[in-house]
Amino acid sequence: MNSSLNLSADFNLESYRFSYPEELLAVSPLDKRDNCRLLVIERASGSVFHKRFYDLPEYLNPGDCLALNETKVFSCRLIGRKKSDGKADILLTREISPGYWAALGSGFKKDQELIFPGNFTGKVEGLNEDGEYLLRFDREDVESYMSQNGFSPLPPYILKKRKSLPFLESSEKKDSESYQTVYARNLGSIAAPTAGLHFTPELLKEIEGRGISICRLTLHVGRGTFKPIVCKDIRQHKMLPEYYHVSSETSRTLEEAKKRGGKIVAVGTTVVRTLETLAVRKDELSGWTDLFVYPGYPLKMTSALITNFHLPESTPLILASAFAGREKLLKIYQEAFLLKYRLFSYGDAMLIL
């Protein structure tokens, strides 16, 4: 008997599969961050509104709390060559020990030597159980080298589309700034918390001026956020742990907001996972979280979500479905496609109230 016949659609990976117009994939940001479109979903009324991101303060009230992820993105994409011949394009994902890193890439062999600008070399020592290459470099201070010679770790779908758009070659030089939030300060992510890319200093100042508190925390985006789901029942998926930190000041700000009945508005799925981890672990303000939020998860801390549009069958899409409802969210995605919303990391935004 096929057990999948009894699997609820909310838990069936296939229910999160959809196609999207390739031409709507955003390969670069808008010149002004907060000019992007904002699709607003009011869960209580079922209403949907089409706004601009600078309209966000209209949906926040005095006493609410806006929670931001202050993580900063490594320039962790290195481009060099194989000593044997051919291009070497790798994405460093985490340091195992000084000079020894896990990385993503393709076509490498054990004991292969890679050479990067400035005579910086690494040796491939094999694959780990998560499908990452293990690289031993000829120096320990790899982070310093990355900061001078690395590129922003843009998603593969952006890099692929850019290859057919030569007029955007100059964009890569701008990514080091545009692929960071304006409030990024704690280095450690291999991808940007993209919901936060739409904020400007002026917009944050306006929000605070309306009596809305802003709190800041950190979750370093790692492979956990992007690890593909391969099990049919999404509840069987295991997130890879990612590091988070919440200051005692932020913890107090969150508690005060809850006591006065204000909304806690998470800017991005990484903030949701941090807040909901904190709700369970209470006083454990730093640590590693592998929390996976999907429809039916009992949200304890987060009231509303600001997020971007997400790829099919991804963990961020499933988390957003926990807020808006899977059927409702995917129906709204189809409407957004018709209205030409820009998609994914550099695309438009959504507010789920």
How high does pLDDT run on average in the chain?
94
- The answer to whether residue 250 scores a pLDDT higher than 90 is yes
Q: Are 131 and 240 in contact (CB under 8 A)?
A: no
Strand partners, 100: 97, 136
Q: Give residue 76's Cα distance to chain centre.
A: 15
Residue 328: pLDDT band (50, 70, 90) is very high
Tens digit of pLDDT for each residue in 263-301?
999 999 999 999 999 999 988 999 999 999 999 999 999
Q: Are 240 and 223 in contact (CB under 8 A)?
A: yes
Q: Which residues of 191-203 are buried (b: 16+ CB within 10 A; e: fewer)?
A: bbbbbbbbbeeeb
Which domains does the chain possess? Answer: 3-73+176-352 (3.40.1780.10), 77-150 (2.40.10.240)
Tens digit of pLDDT for each residue in 168-205?
555 666 898 999 999 999 999 999 999 999 999 999 99
Q: Give the pLDDT score at 165.
A: 77
Q: Give the pLDDT score at 164.
A: 81
Predicted TM-score (pTM) of the model is 0.94
Angle at Cα 181 formed by Cα 176 and Cα 186, nearest 5°?
85
| Alpha helices by DSSP H, 201-283 | 201-209, 223-226, 248-259, 269-281
Q: Give the pLDDT score at 6.
A: 81
Task: Kindly state the average pLDDT of the residues 255-269.
Answer: 97
Residue 206: pLDDT band (50, 70, 90) is very high
Percent over 70 (pLDDT), the chain: 96
**269 class by beta-carbon count within 10 Å (0-12 exposed, 13-18 middle, 19+ buried):** buried
325 or 84: which carries more pLDDT confidence?
Answer: 325
Tens digit of pLDDT for each residue in 103-141?
999 999 999 999 999 999 999 999 998 889 999 999 999
Which amino acid is residue 242, in one-letter code?
E
Q: Give the pLDDT score at 282.
A: 85
